[in-house]
């Protein structure tokens, strides 16, 4: 059986050496079923079920999805997909680099940083149930991305990107995503300041195992410590310390996919000083111990 893995952006190792910030495909299943082992990647992934049913696991949550369900899988999030044998199913897969949302910094923060945190707390679902009256339009948008990506006619990059934007407009207006645009803090209207915050959040995601005090983070955003604490909590809906712990737990989930890596080593690699404290924080965040999480993720491995 394939060991769970880290998956590079599917379109970054193309034979023609052309790197694109998105990909799109469709998957039909019949008697053989379909299974994607637990893995993670740096791109956001959208799964939309047009027919049939499946189990999608994101983090520690198992979701039973069926026709009309759309699954948002944040970047860096461990996930897997299983369609049982003899189930006729059709689903679409669209992935894109979070930087695709860079022209809309508040939406970029929502999608890349805020939504994953809120979903980890159970405050938001990874699965969106599309209203029956909207399902045809949503499927048309997503299948259109697949057709454009496969045909690669002139301007297809713009066509795919446009459809991604249209999809998120529908999700926001349908109340399926927290609207950061409603934030009233005038600081967030400053493009340069938002760019500094996005740079900090990206750095934290990459270096969460390091000791990065809040005062240093405030300095990187050109803010006083007290102002930074206020702005961060207002925008991210949590404190800097709590968010950093979330990032470390998420990184631990990724490392736990390696069956040869010890719990102690993972604790050290994720910035926790003591394994016992790591286990306590992981269990508090996920409801199960790191070892139990590993067993759950590797349950299909023979």
Tens digit of each residue's pLDDT (9 = 90 or more) over 174-216: 887 765 555 545 566 677 778 888 889 999 999 999 999 999 9
Residue that is last in its domain, among 129, 144, 179: 179
Assign 8 a pLDDT band (cuts: 50, 70, 90): low
* Amino acid 181: pLDDT: 54
Asked if residue 264 and residue 150 are part of one domain, the reply reads no
Mean pLDDT along residues 2-8: 46
Mean pLDDT along residues 250-259: 95
Q: In the sheet where 22-29 sits, what is the strand order? A: 22-29, 89-96, 44-51, 69-73, 127-129
Asked if residue 195 and residue 115 are part of one domain, the reply reads no
Secondary structure (DSSP) of 129-169: E--HHHHHHHHHHHHHHHHHHHH--TTHHHHHHHHHHHHHH
Q: In the sheet where 53-58 sits, what is the strand order? A: 5-6, 34-40, 79-83, 53-58, 61-66
Asked if residue 218 and residue 198 are part of one domain, the reply reads yes
- From residue 268, alpha-carbon distances to 116, 208, 262, 264, 275 in Å are 23, 12, 10, 6, 8
Assign 2 a pLDDT band (cuts: 50, 70, 90): very low
* Amino acid 136: pLDDT: 94
Q: pLDDT over 70 for what percent of the chain?
A: 88
* Amino acid 234: pLDDT: 83
Asked if residue 22 and residue 99 are part of one domain, the reply reads yes
* Amino acid 17: pLDDT: 38
Residue that is last in its domain, among 157, 179, 201: 179
Q: pLDDT over 90 for what percent of the chain?
A: 63
What does the pLDDT look like over 78-123, one tens digit per residue? 999 999 999 999 999 999 998 888 888 778 888 888 888 887 777 6
Asked if residue 205 and residue 107 are part of one domain, the reply reads no
Asked if residue 73 and residue 199 are part of one domain, the reply reads no
Assign 14 a pLDDT band (cuts: 50, 70, 90): very low
Asked if residue 139 and residue 284 are part of one domain, the reply reads no
Asked if residue 76 and residue 30 are part of one domain, the reply reads yes
What residues does 6 pair with on adjacent strands?
40
Asked if residue 166 and residue 205 are part of one domain, the reply reads no
Q: Domains in the chain: how many in total?
A: 2
- The C-alpha torsion from 151 through 156 and 161 to 165, rounded to 10°, is -80
CA distance linking residue 25 with residue 291, whole number of Å? 34
136 within 8 A of 51, measured Cβ to Cβ: no
What residues does 65 pair with on adjacent strands?
54
CATH of the domain at 268: 1.10.10.60
CATH of the domain at 162: 2.60.120.280
What does the pLDDT look like over 255-268, one tens digit per residue? 999 999 999 999 99
Give me the domain span that covers residue 187.
Answer: 182-297
């Amino acid at each position: 059986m394939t060991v769970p893995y880290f998956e590079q952006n599917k379109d970054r190792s193309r034979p023609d050496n052309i790197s694109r910030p998105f990909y799109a495909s469709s998957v039909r299943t019949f008697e053989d079923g379909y299974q994607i082992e637990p893995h993670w990647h740096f791109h956001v992934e959208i799964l939309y079920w047009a027919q049939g049913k499946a189990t999608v696991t994101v983090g520690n949550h198992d979701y039973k999805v069926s026709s009309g369900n759309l699954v948002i899988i944040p970047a860096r999030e461990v996930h897997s997909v299983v369609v049982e044998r003899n189930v006729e199913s059709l689903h679409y897969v669209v992935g894109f680099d979070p930087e695709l949302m860079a022209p809309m910094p508040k939406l970029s923060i929502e999608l890349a940083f805020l939504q994953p945190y809120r979903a980890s707390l159970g405050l938001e679902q990874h699965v969106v149930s599309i209203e029956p009256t909207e399902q045809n339009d949503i499927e048309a948008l997503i299948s259109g991305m697949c057709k454009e990506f496969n045909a690669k006619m002139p301007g297809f990059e713009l066509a795919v990107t446009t459809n991604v934007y249209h999809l998120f407009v529908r999700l926001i207006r349908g109340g399926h995503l927290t609207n950061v645009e409603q934030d009233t803090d005038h600081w967030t209207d400053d493009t340069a300041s938002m760019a500094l915050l996005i740079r900090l959040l990206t750095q934290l995601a990459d270096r969460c195992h390091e000791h990065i005090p809040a005062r240093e983070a405030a300095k990187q955003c050109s803010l006083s410590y007290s102002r930074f604490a206020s702005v961060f909590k207002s925008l991210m809906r949590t404190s800097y310390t709590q968010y950093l712990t979330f990032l470390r737990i998420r990184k631990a989930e990724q490392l736990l996919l390696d069956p040869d890596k010890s719990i102690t080593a993972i604790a050290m690699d994720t910035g926790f000083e003591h394994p016992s404290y790591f286990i306590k924080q992981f269990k508090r965040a996920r409801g199960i111990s790191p070892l139990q999480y590993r067993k759950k993720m590797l349950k299909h491995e023979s």
